[in-house]
Amino acid sequence: MNLPDIDNYIAKLRLRAAELETKLNDPHIYSRSAECRQVSREHQKLTNLFQSYERLRHAVGELADNREMLKGESDAELKSMIEADIKTLEQEIAALEAEVKLALLPPDPNESRNVIVEIHPAAGGEEAALFAGELYRAYLRFADEKGWKVEILDLAMSELGGLKNAAFSLDGGDVYSLMRFESGVHRVQRVPTTESGGRIHTSTVTVAVLAEAEEVELEIKPEELRFDVFRSSGPGGQCVNTTDSAVRVTHIPTGFSVASQQEKSQHRNKEIALRILRARLLEKLQQEELARQAADKRAQVGTGDRSERIRTYNFPQNRVTDHRYNISFFDLPGLMEGDFATLLNDTRAADAEQRLAQTLNG
């Protein structure tokens, strides 16, 4: 981390913090609750950043002093103590650098939102469906490990035990900031259980991670929606029934359509379909705004575009590769048991590094 470059940026942020403090000292702001919350959160975030950065600068100075002391020290016991201090300081600096990098980034408007995750097999037939099911179960294990609340919104299995499609919501701390990296095309390379010749097949699965929209955030007029009811179809286990409980809702202006048949209640299926529809419409609006703001920066990575291949799972080589950040992870069995933490933390750090460089140069 280049501290002089960050010093200049921190100086600009201190001016912004002073502006926010002036606003908070104005009694009238407390009658405008939404603005007051926004200003208070931004001011607190900057205050925490300044404190972390001061600790980082102090630790960097201490580390330089200790390294200088080590050069001229001949006493073995003192050298051992200094080396131990250096190791501790290096670990502290690494942690503080990661903390400061994330704090320096402009806030993401979706950071505090819950998400809806949709999984669909793409190319590869039943093998794609089987891997989609494994990925779905891995996400549920990861959610359980993180203590996130999971709600299954839609789930349909194939005849051989694979996944036709799934949609579920995740509610919990850091859920968007971690899961947003899963949006895209996931490619799997392995020998299918149905392959007698031992040949490696390549299949793909698409994952969409949608920030969940509150009902009040999007104005959807009743006349813009068309509702159709139909009978649930199998194979779907015990939830398949003989009444017209499944619901399809279509947003007429955009043509977006969402069907839900997970629940036996038509009212509940309507509610689920509308939740997913709102999330898709929010994503559309945000992508349109992003395109307007950065029409000349189409080559940027990390846009969340689901048309791009983001990751390859190579089972013969026990390797997972993230193509956006050139990160490799060598524990595929662990990952499929829900151990996404290391891969996603590395991905998050690489993304922060790129975005920070853009922020400091901008």
What DSSP string describes 114-162? -EEEEEEE-TTHHHHHHHHHHHHHHHHHHHHHHT-EEEEEEEEE-TTS-
**Count of structural domains within the chain:** 2
Last residue within a domain, chosen from 104, 127, 151: 104
Residue 188, classed as helix, strand or coil, is strand
CB of 280 closer than 8 Å to CB of 257? no
Which residues are bridge partners to 228 per DSSP?
248
Residue 217 lies in a domain: yes
Q: In angstroms, rounded to a whole number, what is the distance separating the alpha carbons of residues 206 and 121? A: 6
86 class by beta-carbon count within 10 Å (0-12 exposed, 13-18 middle, 19+ buried): middle
Instruction: Say which residues have a Cβ less than 8 Å from residue 149's Cβ, sequence separation at least 6.
Output: 170, 171, 172
Residues 21 and 53 in one domain: yes
Based on the fold, state whether residues 160 and 250 are members of the same structural domain: yes
Whether 204 and 122 have beta carbons less than 8 Å apart is answered as yes
Q: Which residues pair with 312 in a beta bridge?
A: 187, 321
The CATH number for 151's domain is 3.30.70.1660
pLDDT, averaged in runs of 10, over the chain (362 residues): 76 92 92 81 88 94 94 89 94 89 78 87 90 95 95 87 90 88 93 76 92 70 84 54 74 86 82 85 78 49 52 94 92 93 88 80 66
Predicted local confidence at residue 238, as pLDDT = 46
Q: Is the domain of 196 the same as that of 54? A: no
153, 260 Cβ separation under 8 angstroms: yes
Query: Are 234 and 167 within one domain?
Result: yes
Q: What is the distance between the terminal CA atoms of the chain, rounded to a whole angstrom?
A: 17
Domain final position from 55, 76, 104: 104
Q: Is residue 230 part of a domain?
A: yes
Q: Are residues 202 and 133 in the same domain?
A: yes
Q: Which residues contact 222 (CB under 8 A, 6 or more apart)?
A: none
Q: Which tokens hold the place of 287?
A: 């992508």
Looking at the DSSP bridge assignments, the partners of residue 208 are 118
- Domain-located, residue 300: no
The domain in which residue 56 lies consists of 3-104
**Spatial separation of the C-alpha atoms in residues 341 and 346, rounded to whole Å:** 8
Domain termination site, one of 84, 104, 124: 104
Give yes or no: residues 138 and 46 share one domain: no
Residue 249 lies in a domain: yes
Residues forming beta bridges with residue 205, ordered by sequence position: 121, 186
* Secondary structure (3-state) at 231: coil
Strand order in the sheet with 201-211: 149-157, 163-171, 115-121, 201-211, 184-190, 309-314, 319-322, 327-329
Is residue 66 a contact partner of residue 86, using CB atoms and an 8 Å limit?
yes
Q: Are residues 44 and 118 in the same domain?
A: no
Residue 298 covered by a domain: no
Are residues 13 and 69 both part of a single domain?
Answer: yes
What pLDDT shows up at residue 303? 37
Domain assignment present for 117 = yes
Please tell me whether residues 169 and 247 are part of one structural domain. Answer: yes
Residue 299 lies in a domain: no
Residues 116 and 95 in one domain: no
d(CA 136, CA 155): 10
Residue 224's alpha-carbon distances to 34, 136, 249, 277, in angstroms, are 29, 33, 10, 12
Same-domain status, 153 and 35: no
Q: What are phi and psi of 200, to 5 degrees?
A: -80, 130
Say if residue 34 is in the same domain as residue 153: no
In a domain, 174, yes or no: yes
